[in-house]
Amino acid sequence: MSLRGKVGLFGGTFNPIHLGHLRVAEEALKQFELRKVIFIPTANPPHKRVEVPAELRFRMVELAIQGKPGFEVSRIEMDTEGPAYAIDTVREMLRAYPEGVVYILGADTFLGVPSWKEGDRLLDLCPFIIAPRRGIREEELRRPPLDRAEVYFLRMEPVEISSSEIRRRYRLGLPVSHLVPEAVDRFIRERGIYLS
């Protein structure tokens, strides 16, 4: 089955968005001929606490994708009361995009999908594009119940950038210019977002 013309959904806390996120989105757009990739910053992820307000993280995504054709950002999970769940987002996006959606995520995150709200249902609901992670082999991602999902693997080197490492570098005053887009770096520094 081809993913051509489908809409990629790329969710996350984006705390902060970094060059690795953009690389994954660019490769997904290109390799699978997607119509576009929609970044979906979540306001209240059910699985972790995020210190940085959603509006600031949303703005960082806006700055990161400015002028990049094929990229959009959505408030769908930010405007949800309480925790936002991927299953609800996908259902709503399928109504908005009848041509179909595909969920983009890292191999490490995909391993956890069965534990998400209605995880088994989500595996059946849409295809997945998986970004490689060092130490995770493709066969691990084909074991039950993950084998129910229609899965496509991005052909690229694993991204070695982590948002937690970037936050640490800001706190310690270490360089980050090779890790985050320039406009995002400026925004973070102007507001002192990760300094405390």
Report domain extents, the chain: 7-161
**Which segments in the chain show pLDDT lower than 70?**
1, 46, 196
Asked if residues 94 and 7 have their Cβ atoms less than 8 Å apart, the reply is: no
pLDDT of residue 1: 60
Q: Which residues, in sequence order, are CB contacts of 68 under 8 Å at separation 6+?
A: 22
Is the CATH number of domain 7-161 3.90.1010.10?
no
pLDDT of residue 195: 87
pLDDT of residue 51: 86
pLDDT of residue 95: 98
Alpha-carbon Rg for the chain, nearest whole angstrom, is 16
Q: Give this prediction's pTM.
A: 0.96
pLDDT of residue 46: 66
